[in-house]
Structure formats: structure tokens, C-alpha cells
Structure 1
Amino acid sequence: MFDWSKVKDPVIAKRLQDEGRAFVARCHFGTQGVAKTKQDVLDTLQRLLDSGFMTLAFDIEANYARMVQEVTGGKVPLHAAVSYPMGRMTLKQKLYGLQSMLDLGIGDTCVCIDWQAIFSGRYRDVEKEAAAINKEFDGKFLKNAFVIPATLMSDLEIVEVCKALDNAGVYSIKVNPGTKLGVSYEEVELINRNFPHRFDIHPSGNIRTLEAVEKYLELGCKIIHTASSLEIVEAYLNRQFALYTGGVQS
């Protein structure tokens, strides 16, 4: 993590801390996947706590929510996904899963859209499901993004799915679930071009550099999902430190 001992000027230190907090607050960070163990979660959580910063949310599997809340006294905001990653739960199961998130105190979530419906062109089914979820849970979460596997979709499929989500009143779209599907600038640009200023877009997957994060921010994304959040904020702080001091202080 960033070496704070090299910052001798308290004014610069305060500026870096404030900028670092604002930067990290745009990111999601954590450890997800059914193979993740309790120790994996605790180790990742400790890295976040040791950084001195707090991401917008700490991403976990829902079954670890109580444990994280106990360890942190409920002070770490949590995110978990429903029907991850392929969206194959029924609507009833997705509604149950979302209510379970609220009951567990998870304030930020995402719902994976049924890949089968997408790839078979059943966009009306996508719209109906999203509208039903929105009707039940709109405003109950800090964020409830709908996840599309954009990397596996044609441009036409992306546009048609976004039309369905637009009709359903969806606000937020997570572009790719991760799980080896990395977002691209072109996917975000395609959505912005066809639906200007319409969606809150959350890029996810294969975002590993400061350059990539800043490019997505330039494209209008306000929330970035990256497991490299701590490495990226370190690069950001080193750059800002060099900018303010030339890299050294006497």
C-alpha cells in the first residue's frame, strides 16, 4: 500500500487522504464466488481495513454477510449478487433472493439477467422480469444493477436488451458479471451512444489499472467494479504525490 511515511508535509498528506477516499469511494472491492472460503473473505476484508480507505461496497457471497458484519460492527457496506452469473433463477427465486439481501442488511446488490432469454431473443421476457423486480424493490437498495454479459453479446443484442431494461424503468446496468468476462470501453460507449444519459453504467471485469479506471470515469461511469481497487488507488496516490512534490520532500 502507499507509503505514507514519505509524506512529510501535513497539508499534502491531508490532500492525498481526501483524494484517496474520494477515489476509492467510486469502487467495489471484495471476493466473490462459491469456491471462496471464510478465510478468503477475512483476508480480503483485512486488506481493505488495513488500507485506511473504504470502497463504496465490499463484495461477498451473501452467506458471509453476518460474519463480516460481526467482524466490522456493521460499518462496512456490503454488496452481493442474485442469480449470479447466468441469471437462471426463476423470477420468484430472484425476488426471494433480493428480499433475503435486505433481511441480511446488504444494501447494494445486482441481479443477473437470464442469459437464455437474451440469447434466444426473448427481450419481452427480459423486460417483464426487470419490471417486476423494479416494482418490488425500487428504492430499497442503495444500488440494484441489472447485469448483462455484454462480452458474449452482439452490438444488436446489447441494444435490444438495453431497450427492454429502459422500458422496465431500470436505472443501473452492470456491464459483465466478471467471471472471466471483462468489460470493454466499446461496450460502455455503445450503450451511451444509443441511450445518452439514460443508464448508470457499472463496468466490471478485467479492470486492473489506473488508466482503465480513469477511462471509464471519463465515459461517465460513476461506479467501478475491480478486484484491483487497492493496487489502483496506490498507483493513484503515487501519481498525485509525484505531482505535488516531484516525488520527494525534504
Structure 2
Amino acid sequence: MDISSYIDHTLLKADATKEQVKELCQEAEVNHFATVCVNPDYVPYCSALLKDTDVKVCTVIGFPLGANPIEVKVFEAERALEEGAEELDYVINISDVKNGEFDKVKEEMKRITALKSTHSDLIIKAIFEVCYLTDTEIAQVSNIAKEVGIDYVKTSTGFGSGGASEKAVEIMKNTVGEKVKVKASGGIRTLEDAKKYIDLGVSRIGTSNGVSIVKGEVSTGSY
């Protein structure tokens, strides 16, 4: 099993420095991680650093609360694509889910997914923040993602009250089947953690502990 190819090597801290982001990109290139995942402001920098590598640039949209209007998220996504992002991890509006306004959740997914019409290689991941959702709500938004044709459903931002859980991943995977992939993130710090979720069927692991994971070491990283 090539763990490296599953990893979105992540640095989303508010105080991330250019030097830290450069190191992130270097680590991703050496270890052949799938992507680096950074805040939007660092997309042009990472895109330049990774231009001639096999590592893609991923950024976050509506992060970390998901509470921005749809139009703001779409603008943020379009700007990120213009600046070199190849994958987008966007946070759904969690309040809409809690309010039972699933039509709004679906409309937002449609608007974001529509960007694929002009960016055919674009990968879009919808972040659910499962720590705030019931099992039924996780299944409902997973089903919407399957209907809309989003590429991935993702467990967490890493900034909520909890991260990935086996139960949430199982619900997501059972709902979307083979039509949509699953990304586990939040609290994945060891090789054993990563293998556990891969065995459950996830296709990506979001973590700031990628180097420690591939080395089989224990990390104290938060994401």
C-alpha cells in the first residue's frame, strides 16, 4: 500500500509562514503526496513551487465555518482556480443542514460543482464537519453529494470540536458507494490511523502529519 499517494499534506494554521509553506511543498514533492492543502492566499506561491512536480495544489473554500453566502464561495473558488488551484475543499453551510434546508445545501453543491464545466480536471471535495451532524444528517448530505456528482465527501476541517470518526466514514461510504470518493481528515496522526481509514474505503487522508505517517512515527500535529 502506497500511503503517500493518499495524503493531502496540509497546513491551514492562521499563523503559517512562507517558510513553513515552502517546507510543506518540499516535503510533498519528496514524499510524492497527492497534494498540498493550503489557505487561498498561498495558492500562487505553492503553484509556482510545485509547477514541475506531480504534487497538486489544493485549497479550502468557505473555511472553516462554511457560513459564507454561495456567491462568496463561488467567487473564492473561481479566484483560487485562476491562481493555480487544482483541487478545492469547500465547507458546506452547516447551519443549513441543522435547519433542514437541504435544498440550499444542494444548490450550493451544484454551484460549486458547475466550475468543472470550465475546469475539466478540477477535483471538488465537500467538507461536512461531521462532529456537528447526526448520523441521519451525514447520510442526507452524502446522498445529495451523490446526486450532484461531487468528487469527494470529506469528514472535517480539523478546526471543529472533533475530527474524523470510523462511524461517520462508514455512513458516508455506505451512502455514496463507488460514485463518490471519501476523504478522512481531522485527528489522523499515525500510520495506524491512516491504514484504519484506508481499510474503511477512503481515497484521501487530510493531515498535517504526512511525513510522520509515512515514516511510521508518532506526531503531535493537530490536524
Query: AA paired with 2:4?
Result: V
Could you tell me how far apart the structure 1 residues matched to 2:94 and 2:185 are? 17
Structure 2's unaligned 5+ residue stretches are: 218-223
In structure 2, the residue matched to 1:65 is 43
Q: 1:69 to 1:191 in 2, by over 3 A?
A: closer
Could you tell me how far apart the structure 1 residues matched to 2:9 and 2:42 are? 15
Query: AA paired with 1:145?
Result: K
Could you tell me how far apart the structure 2 residues matched to 1:167 and 1:195 are? 9
Q: 1:67 to 1:197 in 2, by over 3 A?
A: closer
Matched, 1:28 2:33: no
In structure 1, the residue matched to 2:32 is 54
Q: 1:91 to 1:74 in 2, by over 3 A?
A: farther
In structure 1, the residue matched to 2:221 is none
Percent of paired sites with the same residue:
20
Larger radius of gyration: 1
Deviating more after overlay: 122-131 vs 171-180: 171-180
Could you tell me how far apart the structure 2 residues matched to 1:64 and 1:27 are? 19
Query: AA paired with 1:28?
Result: D
In structure 2, the residue matched to 1:210 is 191
Q: 1:87 to 1:74 in 2, by over 3 A?
A: farther
Alignment of 1:144-183 (within 5 A): 144-180=124-160, 181-183=162-164
Query: AA paired with 1:59?
Result: C
CA-based RMSD: 2.1
Deviating more after overlay: 225-234 vs 130-139: 130-139
Query: AA paired with 1:91?
Result: I
Give the match's secondary structure for 1:125: helix
Alignment of 1:71-90 (within 5 A): 71-73=49-51, 75=53, 76-90=55-69
Q: Is the 8 A contact 1:149 1:177 kept in 2?
A: yes
What is the CA distance between 1:172 and its match in structure 2?
A: 1.2
Give the match's secondary structure for 1:191: helix
What is the CA distance between 1:69 and its match in structure 2?
A: 3.6
Higher relative contact order (CA 8 A, sep 6+): 1
Q: 1:68 to 1:134 in 2, by over 3 A?
A: closer
Matched, 1:193 2:171: no
In structure 2, the residue matched to 1:129 is 108
What is the CA distance between 1:144 and its match in structure 2?
A: 0.6
Deviating more after overlay: 60-69 vs 92-101: 60-69
What is the CA distance between 1:103 and its match in structure 2?
A: 0.7
Query: AA paired with 1:93?
Result: V
Q: Is the 8 A contact 2:116 2:122 kept in 1?
A: no
Could you tell me how far apart the structure 2 residues matched to 1:77 and 1:110 are? 13
What is the CA distance between 1:46 and its match in structure 2?
A: 4.1
Give the match's secondary structure for 1:203: strand
Query: AA paired with 1:205?
Result: G
Q: Is the 8 A contact 2:6 2:205 kept in 1?
A: yes
Q: Is the 8 A contact 1:171 1:200 kept in 2?
A: yes
Q: Show CA shifts across 1:167-187 (max 9, x none).
A: 323231011111153101111
Could you tell me how far apart the structure 1 residues matched to 2:91 and 2:120 are? 18
What is the CA distance between 1:211 and its match in structure 2?
A: 1.2
In structure 2, the residue matched to 1:10 is none
Match for 2:89 among 110, 134, 141? 110
Could you tell me how far apart the structure 2 residues matched to 1:187 and 1:72 are? 33
Give the match's secondary structure for 1:129: helix
Structure 1's unaligned 5+ residue stretches are: 1-18, 237-250
In structure 1, the residue matched to 2:25 is 45
Could you tell me how far apart the structure 1 residues matched to 2:176 and 2:164 are? 18
Q: Normalising by structure 2, what TM-score?
A: 0.86
Could you tell me how far apart the structure 1 residues matched to 2:108 and 2:14 are? 25
Give the match's secondary structure for 2:115: helix
